[in-house]
Amino acid sequence: MDKLRILLVDDEPSFTRMLKMSLERRGFEVVAENNGAYAHTVAADFLPDFVFLDVIMPDVDGGEVAAKIRCNPKLKDVPIVFLTAAVSKETTRVKGNMIAGQTYLAKPTTVDEVVRCIEREMKKKAGAKSA
């Protein structure tokens, strides 16, 4: 089975570096992009199965990046999860990791949690397709 392809978009290189290393250790194929403005072109090239997006970045916000990625017909159904320091764990826990219909994961988080999130979202996508 092919490795699951994960795209990480975050302006903090050390963050993407650490998460990339951790996820690769768990068997994922990971591409990291630190410039939000280029994220959709990288996504169009890499065609990820899953995207983690930062919300607050210097030039562009995560919502815009998500919209641009989804503009690509090949990526219109790709699961996108916002991985952000802008919400607290309590908020995401109480609201079931959803805010305004969008899935969030609060920083800091563990690799285990990140992996669980990927599995959950992929299962959701598979369920939606078969339905």
Partner 1 sequence: MPETKVGLATEGPSRLQAILNLSRDAILSISLEGTITAWNAAAERIFGYAPDEIIGRPLATLVPADRRYELASILERIQQGHIQETYETIRVRSDGIPIAVSICIGTIGKGGHVTGAVAIVRDLSETNRALEAVEESSAKLNEREQMLQRALSALRKTHEAAKSTQMQLVQAVKLESIGRLAAGVAHEVKNPLAVILFAVDYLKEAVPNQDENITVALTDAREAVIRADSVIRGLLDFSTATELTTDLQDINALVRRSMGLVKHSFTKGHVFVVEELEEGLPPALLDRNKVEQVLVNLMINAVDAMPEGGTLIVRTRKDRMVGGPDVGVRATDTFRVGQGVVLIEIEDTGTGIDDKSKARLFDPFYTTKPPGKGTGLGLAVCKSIVALHGGTVKVANKEGGGGARATVVLRSVRPEMEVPRDG
Are the C-beta atoms of residues 68 and 81 closer than 8 Å to each other?
A: no
Stretch of 20-28, 34-42, 44-52, 120-128 contacting partner 1, by CB under 8 A: 20-28
Per-residue interface string for the shown chain with partner 1, residues 52-91, x marking contact by CB under 8 A: ----x----------------------------xx-xxxx
Residue 70: exposure state from Cβ atoms within 10 A (0-12, 13-18, ≥19): middle
In this complex, which beta carbon is closest to partner 1, that of residue 10 or of residue 49?
10
Cα–Cα distance, 45 to 26 (Å, whole number)? 23
Give phi and psi for 100, each to the nearest 5: 50, 40
Identity of the amino acid at 124: K
Segment near partner 1 (CB under 8 A); pick from 19-27, 32-40, 58-66, 117-125: 19-27
Applying CB under 8 A, which residues contact partner 1? Answer: 12, 14-15, 18-19, 21-22, 25, 56, 85-86, 88-91, 94, 106-112
